[in-house]
Structure 1
Amino acid sequence: MFSSVKHYFYTEPNENLSIRKVFKPLYIILSLFGLFPYSIKFNSKRGLTIITKSIYINSLCAVSYVLFMSSFLAIHVQHVYESIDEGSMTREVMTQMNYVVELVVSFLFCVTAYVCAFNNRCTFVKIINSIGNMIEPPNNITEQNLSVLRFKVNVIMMGFLIVLLLLQVCVNFTRDDPFWKMILVFVTFMLPLTIQFTFLCFYYLLILMLVVLLMDIREKIESITKEKINILDCCMKADAKILSLQYMETLYVKAFEMKSTINKAFQASILVTTIQSFHAIVSESHIIYHGLVIEKDFTLHPLINCSIWIVYQIVKIFILARSGYLLKQEIMKVGQTLHTIPTDKHDIRLLLEIQHFSTLMSHQNNNLTAYGLFDLDATLLSKIISSSAMYMIILVQFDKK
């Protein structure tokens, strides 16, 4: 059993690393949560192969998670309204409303994630296979990029998900509440949060795969600029460069199409998780303010719990902002490399090819968005934090006490 699990995380010494093998560890986690509707076979020649009849079992797993969380959500909401006078889980009407809204939005993200995964069940496989086909067989530089990508998946993503789950268990099951309340909080808060991070890691991995593809395109363009040109063979060399540059342009167009497909598949989930993160930051900050300043009865455990929850929301926004930033930066590097191709000693055809490629890049929208409402870039995190601080100040000013 250990050897079969190890095969998903590590490659054999003589086995070439590929995009599909990098995807294996995260695929296991996605399948456990029912976020990948199809079971797939990792075939080295044919790529990812879909097992058609597996959709029934995987869909049943997804529906079971949704029904399980919705049942506990209804129980939790009922308990919140009944405990308004006890002060055990909520403190006043506004806090109670924020608490319920946070519960509902977290559950809404899970439903949105499962719907997006089911609607794009074939699209995800096609994207991974397409990227794998375009960067294979890899050269030494691409092997290094894939090794870095595998490190990010195996160590950072998988390690982060494990630490996230352990930290949630430690914080939740050390609270001074009955055991059934701990279970209630775990199913309605902690489990949806884990599903959110798993789905966002899947989104982040797809963007990193596109970044590796763009890096491969950029490195091939750089190889064109490093070639020594013989003046006597100028026309022949120019024709070879035009053909390779046309091929690079074709790869870039396909990469842009895949970027648009990924953005379309995940934008509903991105919108919901951004709203939920913004609301959670404001809500938890307001709870900390009431506990420390107004009520003055906040103990260390709820303070740590609220602070960790805020950190979780910031990390989610950081993942979204980081994905858009990396993709945009790599596209800019491709454009900069394109303009370093020497055009002297060549005919007008090569210059026209470079101009066409450059014009194509300048007229395409390279930003990742959520239905065009906001861009996923480096400024997203600062916008969310500044907006949350502004709303927190408004809530404090309108506080009755």
Structure 2
Amino acid sequence: MFATLKKYFSPVANQNEELSFLQIFKPIYVLLSTLGLFPQTILFPNDGQNSICTLKHSVYNWCHTLLMIILIHSFYIFHLQVLHISSQENSITQGSMTLTNYIIDLSLQVLFCTVSYFHVIRDRNLYIRMLQDMAGFWDRLAMGERRQILGQLRVQMCAVLSPIVIIPLLAVITYRGPLGVWKKILFTVTFILPEIIQFIMISFYLVMILMIVALLKNIEEEIKILVLRNNICYNSLGTKSEMGIFKIKNVYVKTLKIKRQVNAAFQAPILVALTVCFHELMALPHMIYHGTVYVPNFSVNNTIGLSLWVFTQLLKLSALACSGALLKSQVNKIGRTIYNFPIRRDQDLKAYLLVQHFSSLMSYQKAEITIYGYFALDGTLIFNMVASAFMYLTILVQFDQI
């Protein structure tokens, strides 16, 4: 068992270890299946070959999905009933404005779970198809840098999954408070569990983007090989280890198509997740302010817990912003590599036209990730959301009262 965990989760590759592109995805798949966020059950290749993943009986995963949906929505109703009866007993929900923010936050958490489970059920076959396509493209590219690129991808996978350890810390701080057993259970199912689901869904999206970035690195390596050989039309027919620019261009176009599929599949959950982050960046500091100023029994434990919740929102925003930045950066590297190819005057005109066509495709097919075309996930996302949240926080503080 320890050897299996080390194989899938270790960020360090052994000298004799043959890494597999699909095996990199397996840790996040295990977490998704545990939470019912991957209704399909798939079999991964056990050897070092990048064979296509296959489906198997998925009743177990479907049961997890349905159980999580029923559990979260049932306890959401129970939580609302408790708030209606005894909201003044909790120092965090004393006051009409803080109670309203608490209910909005609770509803947004459940809304995210609803949207996420709807989309994973709707797009369950799309996930399999994207994984199969990426595995197929991986087999055709980067024969020389395979281990290095996959090793970097596995390190990035561990970095993506590492922030999940913050969630148990949130639970421990919550359980130290004066809440009763029933309220702790309600808080766990309607806040802690949805927060875990948010982390895992964002990690799922980010891992898919990182796999696309790895494919783009493959393309960059193949173009570098052509640049070193000083022949852009080298091996126009293309083999497994040697490809011409025409086939590399086709793989690039299909990789960007997968990017658009990922964008379409995850933009609705990401939009709700951004709404949750924005509201909590605004509401949680206000709860700290209101409790410190107006509530005598507001404890240091509450302040630490709410501050940690704010930190988790910043982590999610950072992950979403970095995804678009990484993708655009890698596409820019491919563009610079293409333009580094030396084209002589006496060279065939076909080489020049191929480079120009590839460049035109890169300009036409944008690499950015957008939310329904309204705004992009990039470095400006964190600044805009944090600045807007604190502007509304200032308004809440001015209108606050007991």
TM-score, normalised by the number of residues in structure 2: 0.91
3-state DSSP class of the match of 1:399? coil
**Residue number in structure 2 paired with 1:102:** 105
Structure 2 residue corresponding to 1:148, chosen from 149, 152, 155: 152
Deviation at 1:240, TM superposition (A): 2.1
Quote the residue 1:222 is aligned against: 224
Offset, 1:179: 2.0
Go from structure 1 to structure 2 and tell me whether the alpha carbon gap of 1:355 and 1:312 turns closer, same or farther (over 3 Å shift).
Answer: same
Matched, 1:50 2:55: yes
C-alpha separation in 2, matches of 1:7 and 1:139: 22
Report the AA paired with residue 121 of structure 2: F
2:206 aligned residue: 204
Q: After superposing the two structures, state which structure 1 stretch, 85-94 or 368-377, moved more.
A: 85-94
Give the match for residue 31 of structure 2.
29
Q: Name the structure 1 match of 2:94.
A: 91
The RMSD of aligned alpha carbons is: 2.0
CA contact (8 A) 1:80 1:89 kept: no
State the match for 2:72 in structure 1: 69
Counterpart code for 1:17: L
- CA deviations 1:335-376 (Å, max 9, x no partner) are 111111111141211111111111111112221111122210
Deviation at 1:5, TM superposition (A): 4.5
Equivalent pairs: percent with the same residue?
35
Distance 2:19 2:131 in 1: 14
* Deviation string, structure 1 residues 145-185 (Cα, Å, up to 9, x no partner): 111111222x3234332x12321232122112222221111
CA deviation map 1:200-250 (0-9, x unaligned)? 11110000000011111111112222225xxxxxxxx56427661111110
Letter in 1 for 2:362: M
The one-letter code matched in structure 1 to 2:290 is H
The equivalent of 1:355 in structure 2 is 356
CA 1:87/1:194 → structure 2, altered by over 3 Å: closer, same or farther? closer
Matched, 1:240 2:238: no
Could you tell me how far 1:391 is from its partner in structure 2?
0.7
Structure 2 equivalent of residue 39 of structure 1: 41
Corresponding residue number in structure 2 for 1:193: 195
**Displacement, 1:133?**
1.7
1:298 paired with 2:298, answer yes
Match status 1:309 vs 2:309:
yes
CA distance in 2: counterparts of 1:364 and 1:164, whole angstroms: 38
| Residues 213 and 255, structure 1, Cα contact 8 Å, conserved in 2 | yes
**Aligned match for 1:117, one of 120, 133, 136:** 120
2:241 maps to none
Secondary structure of the residue that 1:36 maps to in structure 2?
A: coil
Say yes or no: does 1:139 pair with 2:143: yes
How far the C-alpha of 1:379 sits from its partner, in A, is 0.7
- AA aligned to 1:282 is M
- Corresponding residue number in structure 2 for 1:339: 339
| Corresponding position: 1:390 with 2:391 | yes
Q: How much has 1:60 moved relative to structure 2?
A: 1.9
- Once the two structures are superposed, residues 307-357 of structure 1 have per-residue CA deviations (whole angstroms, 9 ceiling, x without a partner) of 001111111111110111100111111111111111114121111111111
Asked if 1 retains the 8 angstrom alpha-carbon contact of 2:35 and 2:68, the reply is yes
Question: For 2:125 and 2:341, how far apart are their aligned partners in 1?
Answer: 38
Aligned residues: 389
Contact 1:224 1:241 in 2 (8 A): no
SS at the partner of 2:42?
strand
User: Cα offset for 1:78?
Assistant: 1.2
Change (3 A) 1:182 1:400: closer
For normalisation by structure 1, the TM-score amounts to 0.91
Q: Which amino acid aligns with 1:25?
A: P
2:215 aligns with 213
Q: 1:397 to 1:331 in 2, by over 3 A?
A: same
User: CA shift at 1:16, angstroms?
Assistant: 2.1
Amino acid at match of 1:69: I
Q: Is the 8 A contact 1:37 1:121 kept in 2?
A: yes
Q: Which residue of 2 aligns with 1:159?
A: 162
Post-superposition offset of 1:101: 1.0
Answer whether contact 1:30 1:198 (CA < 8 A) is retained. Answer: yes
Residue 233 (structure 1) aligns with = none
Residue in 2 aligned with 1:231? Answer: none
Question: In structure 2, what is the equivalent of residue 289 of structure 1?
Answer: 289
How far has the Cα of 1:253 moved from its partner?
0.3
Structure 1 residues without counterparts, runs of 5 or longer: 229-236
Aligned mates of 2:110, 2:291 — CA distance in 1: 26
